[in-house]
Structure 1
């Protein structure tokens, strides 16, 4: 009888504790964030994704009262940092700024990138579209995209172009398909590619507008890959205006969390990001930095959009016969 009494009282104790444990769990979600939050960027500092993430990290820090810190983990075309994010504890204290390179191109380029772009992450917000610039070093014998096209066609495969990302490689392949036979030289990131261009080691640079504009006046920006000219690149014509009709491409960034982050945290983060993205000052700042406004999509719409992007990029990669380095 005594043993039965002990068993019964232990059961009561457990039952009594359950509501308390449940309340503590809800409280921890409601209090998020109560310490610093890390945003993994799978690219080096100075890359367009890094530039945009630092802007949003500052805004989130102010809005939520805790530090949001950028953690650069470059390597393997973004696979190293993205895989680390996929394996992170899903508690809301590790986020990742996904990119078209990591979450749309790499799944088609690499047999095993180290993560599943669809199953390992939940999408929070599409933050920006990222157009590209085609530029030349100060000593290069071209001053427009039209002149570059003529030069490459007169000397096929002899004009080198610095390529700092897989999306830059895609732009290069698209140029080749339009009979602009540049020879791509891969670099670890935007800073290294720009250094080589400024030093005259590589005559042409294909990189994002956001990364390129940091050296305006030191490189000659020949064209942008947008449908219309950009305020952040005054006087620069589009590729479509210079002999390559309908040549438009933009990468993108999307803030994501590892799969399993509690819904309350995801909702709070998505709500704050929506507020930040709707601020006029945010759109002006992104435009000044060389980004374009992204479509306003809720997380469900964004998930469907990302899946379609992966399908589209896979088709382009297959058609271009692209291979990872």
Structure 2
């Protein structure tokens, strides 16, 4: 007689599990991990996208900032998460293009440990200096640095900033010191305060300071002038050979079911086509550039990994 209650309990638990599996995705809140601090450009983009994505999925999409170690902490967390579609990763070329060449003994594989969902777009970067700096152009700033070898410094809280700055140093033949930072807001604060003299900042976190006149822009990383700053000259015009793009995209852990991946990809395309979303992202300097399929994004990620491997090598950066 004691066996019957156990059998019934087991049957009930199996039925409950089957019912849970049968529920359409998503049936609970989704977490979107961001590997940078709150207030960073990627964080700002993620919050805009997550809000609209949550509306379309009819479940909250919650931001989880796991900053540190050049996006490695967030990447490792997502790589080990359950691939059920409830943990997503809003990241950039830092974790998936640059870190493999910048970091010895990287504890995740940018290709094997993740499921590409969709590219979101491009977050331009700008070279900024203190508002009181007398340089009016990037060329004038380069002349200024050459007159003070080893005495000036630049901030570097992420891989894009590091590689961009080191590339400029190499091509222009500059002797300027790198100062590591944990976050973009900290780097901007010290630039304004004069502790560092230059910073290649993402416009997501830097646009407010730029618009307020707190920092001076001397160049942008895009090949063509930005719509938001049409009078600012691209860095490549002053530093021939400079070629750097900062992309932004969404992944899940490896092994996500294809129906969930395809659903998320389609919903994200709708999110990024939304006029309200485009306006909000445009105010951050962000340019939407979604991929049509997860497979297209996967190829892009692979191509960018090869491209950034070359960039890091050309910049002469030693992995650490």
TM-score (norm 1): 0.88
Match for 1:39 among 28, 32, 44?
A: 32
Give the 3-state SS of the residue equivalent to 1:276 in structure 2.
Answer: helix
Aligned to 1:179: 172
Match of 2:295 in 1: 300
Shift of 1:292: 2.1
Question: How far has the Cα of 1:279 moved from its partner?
Answer: 2.5
RMSD (Å), alpha carbons: 2.3
- Distance in 1 (alpha carbons) for counterparts of 2:84 and 2:98: 27
Equivalent position of 2:205 in the other structure: 211
Q: 197, 212, 228: which one pairs with 1:232?
A: 228
Cα distance 1:110–1:247, how it changes in 2: closer, same or farther (>3 A)? closer
**Structure 1 310/270 Cα, relative in aligned 2: closer, same or farther at 3 Å?**
same
Q: Alignment partner for residue 270 of structure 1, among 265, 280, 291?
A: 265
Contact 1:134 1:205 (C-alpha < 8 Å) held by counterparts: yes
| 1:260 counterpart = 2:255 | yes
**Is 2:316 the counterpart of 1:316?**
no
Unaligned runs of 5+ in 2: 1-6
Change (3 A) 1:204 1:180: farther
Unaligned runs of at least 5 residues, structure 1: 1-9
Residue 297 of structure 1: how far off its partner (Å): 3.8
Aligned: 1:74 with 2:67: yes
Q: Secondary structure at the match of 1:221?
A: strand
Cα distance change, pair 237–256 in 1 and its aligned pair in 2 (3 A): same
**How does 1:8-27 map onto structure 2 within 5 Å?**
24=19, 27=22
Map of 2:87 onto structure 1: 94
Identify if the C-alpha distance between structure 1 residues 296 and 108 changes in structure 2 by more than 3 Å, giving closer, same or farther.
Answer: same
The Cα shift of 1:234 comes to 4.9
> Is contact 2:34-2:89 (8 Å) kept?
yes
Structure 2: how far apart are the matches of 1:21 and 1:119?
Answer: 33
Alignment partner, residue 244 of structure 1: 239
Larger RCO (CA within 8 A; separation ≥ 6): 2
Which deviates more, 49-58 or 274-283?
274-283
Q: Distance in 2 between matches of 1:119 and 1:246?
A: 32
| Structure 1 residue 27, shift from structure 2 partner | 1.8
Which residue is equivalent to 1:7?
A: none
Residue 202 of structure 1 is aligned with which of 190, 196, 203? 196
**What is the aligned counterpart of 1:193 among 179, 187, 192?**
187
CA displacement at 1:24 relative to structure 2? 3.4
The CA deviation string for residues 56-99 of structure 1, in whole angstroms up to 9 with x for no partner, is 11111111111111100111111111100111111211111121
Superposition TM-score, scaled by structure 2 size = 0.89
Contact 1:153 1:179 in 2 (8 A): no
Residue of structure 2 equivalent to 1:139: 132
Alignment CA distance shift 1:48-1:180 (3 Å)? farther
Aligned length: 308
Give the SS at the match of 2:33.
strand
1:129 aligns with 2:122: yes
Matched residue SS, 2:287: coil
Within 1, Cα distance between the matches of 2:214 and 2:17?
59
Preserved CA contact (<8 Å) 1:231 1:288: no
Cα distance in 2 between the residues matched to 1:145 and 1:206: 12
